[in-house]
Structure 1
Amino acid sequence: MRIALLASNRFWRGANTVFAVVARGLADRGHTTTALVAYESVAGGFRAHDVAVRTPPVGHTSLKGGRALRRELRDLAADVVLVGGARDIRLAAFASLGRSLAVVYCISTPRPPRDLRTRLAFRRVAFTVFLTEQLAQSGLAEAPFMRRAGHRVIPNGVDCDLFHPNEDAGQAFRRRRQLGDGPVLLGVGALEIEKRWDLLLEGLALLAPPVPPLLLCGTGALDSALRGQAQRLALDVRFVGQLDPPELAAAYNAATCIVHTRPDEVFSLALLEALACGRPVLAASGGGTPELLGNAGVLAPPENPVVFAGLLRELLGDAPRRASLAVAARQRAVERYSVARMIRDYEEMLEDLV
């Protein structure tokens, strides 16, 4: 098969990582894959995964962008194009007119797009990939027009060889970052409003001192605001930016507990990586998170810093429970969320479709 992956967003996000891993995995299985991206910041991420990249002007829904995408897809002789956002649906719909091209929508948002232009463009979508059963049910109920296309649930996968329990790597990370031997908390994700790191900081401020240091791995528009909030609350928050995968795996292994407060998370790659590293997780219960974690993590009511702080206090004080969660986490990641499983599912779906 000849497969194109369209990413018109400006900044690298978790959904782009999934597309890159899928593209690389399908290429390793003998298929031709090419990422079509609008911005160099995203192109670099795909190249880092050894994925072929082209950069047509598809950053906006426009006739120019649609024509450019159409030319690229024709030149690639693409059989299918994977899209991940409303703008991508609209562009791919135009590019697919009058030709045999399957458009596959891989939804990675809490709610489906429902604007009129996207609803009309969705008539060209042949298949939708959801990340969890719960999100499939809620999405199809909220946007009945999506039922005209086929659909399947394909959870994201994680590299369980790269992300695995490694006490030595965790201890080395602690030494490099001068973290000592006490409890350490880790949050991983973009520093953006939807992640609700502000709720996490509010919860940490409710803990009795000494409050464990929190490492935040990520970048984003709220960097300055979160630094200011941490200073006002007298919290030890260390903003470490984006880490390369081996260093990120070491960070997970250094953490006593992984914390995640987005109330409507779709399917967090950070939580998958934490499970694969066998780390205890405390996360807000919302979106696809309960289905992702199962019994391998602790769930807190969304947008409730008081309860979150109480559950975190209990978890930090219960070493046997953390050890039990660590074993369950690794087992769940290996059994359910391997990259190999994800690639097989995508290949099977695409071959049936094409």
Structure 2
Amino acid sequence: MAVINNGLRIPDLADSERLGREFRAFHKIPADAKLIGTMGELKPLKGQRDLVLAANEIAKTDERAYFVIAGKDNTADRRFRRELRRLVKVFGLESRFLWLDWLDDTSPFFAAIDLFVSPSHSESFGLALLEAMTRGKAVVATATDGAKELLGNVGRLTPIADPLALSVAIRSMLDDDELAKSSGEKLREIAADRFSLKRMVDLTEKLYFDLTAESRKAK
């Protein structure tokens, strides 16, 4: 049985600096902030609550840390988003959080963030995580099957549903710019080598021709 991974186009990053500046200016995020982002449907299984809890730990010692949560809430009356925002308010972190709905163009989001976090409790294959990799972003993720497949030994994996461990991993990336930069560069290389759209198309074509050849031999 052949397994062909999903693939994404590896983007040109020439405009990233400008897009990141414009995104931060538009949303009033300080230019020198360390911006931690996550993207995905808002629901308990995606682990955004764990990220909010981790953010509370990080904010106690790091005034640079800001957070952006992007994703659509399909729960009744957007209940989960309201729960998350209430928790942020309890922690007194409202000024440090940006909330975005679904993004048609994700380029400015990824250009602006310093670190991508995937706090999911279950993930077979994370497209948002893969997109962060294609854009050269450092990543912290929970050890779901999808994250382990994508990241390998690069990036930081933490236990699932463990906000404290998540906060420690995030802080380690925020405190080491060289580590974050080298990690992001390696993840972009992995994405280009194993998960690019071109590779997916090439493997699909090869599989098609191999199956066609076998079918002809059988006749």
TM-score calculated relative to the size of structure 2? 0.84
CA distance in 2, matches of 1:225, 1:308: 20
SS where residue 242 of structure 1 aligns? Answer: coil
Q: Does 1:316 align with 2:174?
A: yes
CA distance in 2, matches of 1:238, 1:291: 29
SS where residue 153 of structure 1 aligns? Answer: coil
Choose which of 132, 142, 145 in structure 2 pairs with 1:274: 132
CA distance in 2, matches of 1:229, 1:170: 28
How many residues are paired up? 202
Choose which of 130, 155, 164 in structure 2 pairs with 1:306: 164
Look at both structures and tell me which one has the larger radius of gyration over its CA atoms: 1
Q: Does 1:185 align with 2:45?
A: no
Cα separation, partners in 2 of 1:240 and 1:264, compared to 1, 3 Å: same
Which residue does the alignment assign to 2:54? 203
Deviation of residue 273 (structure 1)?
Answer: 0.6
Q: Is the 8 Å Cα contact of residues 265 and 287 (structure 1) preserved in structure 2?
A: yes
Choose which of 155, 162, 168 in structure 1 pairs with 2:18: 168
Which residue does the alignment assign to 1:158? 8
Which residue does the alignment assign to 1:293? 151
CA distance in 1, matches of 2:14, 2:148: 22
Which residue does the alignment assign to 1:256? 114
Deviation of residue 320 (structure 1)?
Answer: 1.0
Q: Is the 8 Å Cα contact of residues 50 and 161 (structure 2) preserved in structure 1?
A: yes
Deviation of residue 233 (structure 1)?
Answer: 2.3
Per-residue Cα deviation, 1:195-225 (whole angstroms, up to 9, x for no partner): 0111111111112242622111111122222
Which residue does the alignment assign to 2:98? 238
Which residue does the alignment assign to 2:81? 223
Cα separation, partners in 2 of 1:309 and 1:264, compared to 1, 3 Å: same
Deviation of residue 161 (structure 1)?
Answer: 2.5
CA distance in 2, matches of 1:164, 1:326: 16
CA distance in 2, matches of 1:234, 1:346: 50
CA distance in 2, matches of 1:237, 1:197: 12
* Identity %, equivalent residues: 26
Cα separation, partners in 2 of 1:340 and 1:172, compared to 1, 3 Å: same
CA distance in 2, matches of 1:349, 1:255: 38
CA distance in 1, matches of 2:122, 2:202: 28
> What runs of 5+ residues in structure 1 fail to find an aligned partner?
1-150
Structure with bigger helix share is 2
SS where residue 206 of structure 1 aligns? Answer: helix
Deviation of residue 165 (structure 1)?
Answer: 7.6
Per-residue Cα deviation, 1:72-116 (whole angstroms, up to 9, x for no partner): xxxxxxxxxxxxxxxxxxxxxxxxxxxxxxxxxxxxxxxxxxxxx
CA distance in 1, matches of 2:169, 2:131: 21
Detail structure 1 runs of 4+ shifted over 4 Å in the superposition: 162-165
- Name the amino acid aligned to 1:183: K
User: Within 5 A, what are the aligned runs for 1:104-143?
Assistant: none
SS where residue 275 of structure 1 aligns? Answer: helix
Q: Is the 8 Å Cα contact of residues 164 and 276 (structure 1) preserved in structure 2?
A: no
SS where residue 98 of structure 2 aligns? Answer: strand
Higher RCO (Cα < 8 Å, 6 or more apart): 2
- Name the amino acid aligned to 2:97: V
Choose which of 206, 209, 214 in structure 1 pairs with 2:67: 214
Cα separation, partners in 2 of 1:164 and 1:234, compared to 1, 3 Å: farther
Deviation of residue 346 (structure 1)?
Answer: 3.1
> What runs of 5+ residues in structure 2 fail to find an aligned partner?
none
Deviation of residue 193 (structure 1)?
Answer: 2.1
